[in-house]
Structure 1
Amino acid sequence: MKKGLSKGVTGLIAASFVVSGVSYTNSAASAASPFKDVKVGGWADKHITKLALQGILKGGTGSASGTFSPANKVTRQEAVIIALRFMGVTDEIKPSDVLVFPSALVIKEDYKPYIKLAVQKKILLIDEEVALAEKEKGKEWGSSPATREWMAKLLVRAIGKEEPAKAVAGQASSFADDAQIDAQLKGYVNYAVSTGLVTGVTGNKFDPAGAVTREMASTLFSRAQTNMSVAYSGQVTGALVSSSGSKVTLLHSDGSVKEYTLSPSASVYSFQSEQTSDISKLVPYGEVVMISNSDGTIGYVEQTSETPKVKNYEGSIILISEAQNKLTVSINGEPKTYSYDAQTLTAKDINGQVLKIADLPLNVPVKLGVDISTESKLLSLTLSKAVTNKTGAGTVEAWKVADLSLQVKDAAGNSETYPVASNAAIKHTDGTSYTFDQLAAGDAISYEVKMGSVTSITITKKMQPPITGVLNLVDKAGKTIQYRVNNELGAKDLADSVIVKLEGMSGVTLDDLFKGDTVSMTLNEAGKVSVITITSRSVSFLNGVTVSNYLPDDNTLIVTDSTNKKVPLILSESTRFDLNGTVITQREAANYIAKGKKVNVGYTNSNAAYVSIVSQYTGTILENNVTARTLKLSLDTTNSVTLSYSTYVPIVDVYGQTSATYLDLRVGDKVTAIMDYVTQDKVISVQLQKTVQFDLVSTDLTGNRLRAKRSDGVVEDWSLTGLTLPIVNEKEEPLSLTTLNQSGATLLNVTFKGKSPIKVKAIATTYGRVSAVNTANSSIDVVNSAGNVVTKSFQSTPTVMRNGTVIGSLSSVKADDRVEIRLDDNDRPIIDIIPAVNKKYLNNNADTLFVQRASLNENNTYLLHSQVYIHQGTKTLTFADLKNNDDIILYVLRGKVIEIAK
């Protein structure tokens, strides 16, 4: 779109137009559902996103910032501005020109320059609109809603199809309300419908007088862009050469190849799709349109054609001229020379290993992808063989025997996948030979890769296979579990923190295990049971049944299920009773078990295994209707429940907030709704589940306590004695307090239910100097204080930050930057660039560094990290090597100096 408006016009209207669609803020909306009141994945989401970035439709400002008001009606004068923006002609407005409108056309003063231009462009005819205004006595022409038939006329004229529309004006449409369409507008409606610009509504009707909403207008003008060729600002088109991580490379029609940075929140759409996709799902070399955000990153990508813009050839490399960026290939015995862009050429071996041009071997068969328009620019190159040779060590993450595909994670947490040669040897360090099917996920191995395939594997530590059996007894006091395998009794010790899993249930504990359950038990390195998965059980369940009769003296409970069938149950000493997940006695349970009350029961034959009083629901908020005072929760993938608030405002518990109310509950929040114990039909309190990232302060193994500090400095001290608080690593594997202390983790992601912690996840961090950034592979090489290079690969696009502000994507990271790599509280990868602080050394003590002040108000005191790295170049120093007035560079991480460079 031609950029800019006349300053006079801009100044005149900027203050008066807000959510109406004519707000003249220059900041582009962010991508990926840019407005909080637009349903993600909704029918208009794609079109709103596109038109928002193109500047055709805008959101609100001030208190309405971040909203789009999709259901608001579009007035005629607003529709005209949208059409002019769509046509890309708003820079032709001349506010100084005088145009006198007939008195029948009531138009806001600020809109008149636009209406004038619309008349000049013949998308509006004065006589037509005057006649329309005179028919609508008592209404203002400009502020009246644009109808569907009137918008069809405006849209058809905006794309220059007036004559084809006139040619079909005498035809009847197939709509049931055809007679209601204005005869003078029928041609426009017929043409718009026949070309797919406009569709009918439910019941085979067109609804000609129906008002057009903002989301409808977005869809209409978005789809109409296939009939227009407008160079909107920030929009580019081309063939998709490659996409890797946050980088997208396009081949443009002029033969140039350019790389663009994809926003982490970009909306990506496959060909003819209305739902967002992943950039990797787009067809390579098909045509795409991309629109940028205000920061220059790409916020919208749509594949407009899947027809490749590339020709494929096969041949052998015979000459590489790096200085000239040229490569010569023998194709059917004839030499052919291609030019290439070293920054964008995708060169890989047969296994997908990215190669440098200098590493390409000669006289090796290759497959080439060449620009179809020039037939001289090389876009991709794939060797028909592997060139990787290396040795490595790590843990088997996945092993597919049928495909001979091995995935290994190294000590730094990086995963790589290799094909395994069919004759590869597998041995244990003790000399025992293994077959392919004896290698398992979890095995620690060393391996050798030759020409891209694993040729040998040595198992350094065998993963203990899980034990599957029938549960006999759980001794929580003695920390043991008894089970039967093939009717033979066995026993194992329990780990300090045992995770119990049962599909479809959350918050499962050892108390939920029953004799006769079939279980699979995973052992930790010490041979203790760390995970128990219930694979099938002898206990049947009835949820939400109604108490029909309770006879405590006879130890009998009769419940009625959803089919009105009465089920008698026998209670015994082994029957477990609980309230809100807390085990209670049968005497205490009697206070809640009465005729008409709702309970959940588990039973074997007629014997009750447990009785749970239904007084809470845990799920994800689907709707919080503050008017009707109802809360709709999704309990799982198939079940939902709508709950009513109590007469009084329900208590809302949110960690870190002291005055939360039900107004703070949002769709998508995971919550536990506590019901009134007496009636069981009203929500009296809501506990919000949220995860907060803490710094690990200390572990007290003797006192069984854990201390952690929030980003705002608040320190929490949790006693783990008597508290069910599982501690896990990033793979959700259980950790004891001892192993947490030994893990070297510095961050904790603590999940709270209300104000109570329910899970602690240890988060590993990597700090060091960046030695290389590979945007194509979405990886980064970091040199740590020991001088070792650690490669961190990212499965999802990392967020790059500096001083707490998001600054871009992986391409924002440069060599020699100091970075910390970690996961945030939502388990998303973060690269935090640590800025350099230049100071002059003064002195220090055990935990504090003092620097010279450049001014009286300057801070000269810094806390020292316990593992502060002091160096000069690659030489490691101590504080004894620093002298008064030495120039030093500090790198401060979370309030403490982690590195000092002299």
Structure 2
Amino acid sequence: MTKKVIAAVSRALVLFLALGVWVAGYAPATTAAAKRFSDVGPKQGWALQDITKMSLKGIIVGTPEGQFLPDQGVQQQQALVMVIKTMGYEQEAENYKGKDHSAQYKGVADWAKKYVSFAHQEDLLRVDEGDRFHGEYAASREWIAQLLVRMIDKEAEALAIKHDSRSFTDARDISKWADGYVKLAASDDYGLISGFPNDDGTFSFKPKENVTRAQMTVLISKAERFMSNPVGNELRGQILSVGDEWLIGTKDGNRKLKVTGDTAIFQDYKKVSSSVIKRFQPIYALYTPGKPDVAQFIQILDEDAAEEVITGTITKVVKPLKTVALTTSEGLTSFYLSDGVVYGSKDGTVKSIDDLNEGDTIELTFVGGQVSKAYLITGSAAGSSKGTIYEVDLTNNLITLQHGEQQSAKVYTLNKDATVQYPDRRATGLAGLSGEMEVEIKLKDNEVVEIKVTEIVEQGKIISVSADKKYITITSAGDQAAKVYSLATDAEITLQGTATTSQTIQAGDDVKLRIGSDGQIQTLNIMNRSAGNAVVDDGLIEGKVYAVDSGSGTVILEKETNGQKTYHPYDFGSTYDLSINGKWSTRLADIKKDMRAKVQLFEDKIVYFEVDNRLSGKVVRVDKDRRLLTLAHENGQQVPYYVDNNYDMVIRHQGGADLSDLELQDQVRVKLDENNRITDIAVQREFAYLVTDVYESSKRLNVKNEKGNSYSMTLNTNVELEVPGKSIPKITDFNKGDIVKASYLGDDLKNLAVLPSDKGMVTHVDQDKKQFTLAKNDGTTAVYTFNSGDVIEYGNNEYTQLNSLVVNDRVIVQTWLGGKKRLTKMQQVTEEFYYKDNNFIYAIENVRSYRYDPDLFVRGTDNRGITLDMLSKNDKIRMYRLDGIVYEVHKIQ
């Protein structure tokens, strides 16, 4: 081997040791046999199960020589990579093209810069934590506790911990900032990281001890169970039969798995042979990518570990079919309660499905994917966990909620240390709760321990309205402190019950507001006009920051009138809202000289302060050689700007962009330095994507473009959503298969709109003209031409020829940007109609239920439109569905 080859291999090995992933030229093995590392022996037996599992998932890998280096310490940047991969964000981090935040942290290796920048963006790392993170430093147990808590999104819960039943003998050695993280991570509820037993039965935590690769693998394996979308191809279930193929019963039906000589089988953290397998044992399994019937890894679970509990409110009880429709945090789902289900309740009155009623909150226990117990919850969690506050009695620690359409009331006991989260970030705790607020509550030991306010009702008087009608300052009844709220773009506004616009809002109005979960006004009702009694100022004061003293809370603004500059000092009030470059902040130190500012005063104190050193406009001239960029602003003024030599330009999906990539009339947002030179340019572009997955809990969509490239996008509150037929769109209104138009400003998603689609029945196909006719569900008919580049999708296959379409096919026709069409054929299901409710159609055969679309189209035997109510029991129907949703029902007999 030459010196050059040896050097290259050495560099690759160094990069592996740093990053913990394979570099180019080394492909990871894919079989369980190849995942046996030569240096993982009896000494690491305690970690073998998790090392095997996480290596098969691709979270960890070994060296090219087949070693794992289990006892080697983990650097903080290495641990960060492992966590990001476990969260399922490896692709997003590898493809990160946003701002390089890694320069804000110390000791970050080149290979880790994208991951560190992505971690900063996802709030796993924070600059204001000083030297807590240093990429090359060894990861201590207390720092890992913090990282794991942020990984499972439980930081607010950790920071709220004031005491804990678990205590460590070396608690004094735990850094103050890490105390809450350690307590939550080590708690019985989460069990992310354990202590070390002492001879006297106590436990030590050893907060400063470094974490090894083997230990880190076990820790992320434990934390993984809290991920809503775990990485890898996995399933849970109960063994129904064994042999050459195992039959596994899961919640989604029976699955077959082949167990080969390469399948790694574990029980009680020890590797075992398949001979120990027995029927009805619960298991966790990983199957081979692309081969869902071949098992790579199997963990035999004990009964307790196998149990899964789901809590929800009964929306519908179909007693003849032994089925309940349950509303949980994941939505509405139907469950079949077999004759073997054990029923129970605190008072012993629930003994069968006949004792369950709509509105009851029940707990279903699953073993091997099958319901084994149904328990009616009383006392601690009876009724919904969501409701409207009717009354708060802090003297007796009681809160009364109204639930459901019938507004049935229930009284709960309040824990005096209960935490309260408000959408507008107010810190008033329990004292800030009031009637008509919409809340979600969490109970423990019969007491309310957490309250999340999802909608605030506020009554008060408007004291100021910004000139652009975007910000409203009010004083609430009985509270003279001013509050500033932003008005949602789609807010519903009424004047004494009559719909109106934001232009009618005036200072002095008595109003009733509803503030949604994003902190913005969703509805505003002007109840009375009494401008004579109003406390009115001149609205937002505009100027430029001349100086700021964050210690004393004072800012000096420079204002220019007729060429004359004047300087005005202002003091911040005890509470205020601060917006810096479009993002909420709490740090006055982030306000910089020469930033443009807008100020809202109340009683001579700042209650709202907005600063920005960015400008928006359209490109009207580009002089690349002289680095001169001329922009047309909203007021029509055209202004030339010099572009700094080290400027940064961001165009979505385009690396290395420069001034030559700009086009006339491009909408851009630029950032200026103190010399009025452009340092950053974000360019607006529009793209079309196909939605492949919707993750409601994390408000994230997975999409792919026409070339098949996949991306992930997060729908935060700054993204304007557009869905046909929806006045206030939410992420739940987006569906797998939608084609969406995304508008990006740089890498910031600004707008996401579902492109219109047509659903209907194919009535004619002309192969010669390459045309087809669609009888649309709205009663109209349309003729489409099938052009080059158009695609027909059916199941997991795609076709580019019109001959894959036939008469009577039900399709959804969607058009991409640029005119290309995507046709999605629906699957047919034939059943006998039995019953329907507001969400499901029930069929006699196998007691099946089918969720239907709110805009369901129903045809009679003559193809004319009818309704579901016109169907009778035992009518034969053909349903057309896509991704589990029925879009059309055709009565055929």
TM-score exceeds 0.5: no
TM-score normalised per structure 1: 0.30
Larger radius of gyration: 1
TM-score normalised per structure 2: 0.30
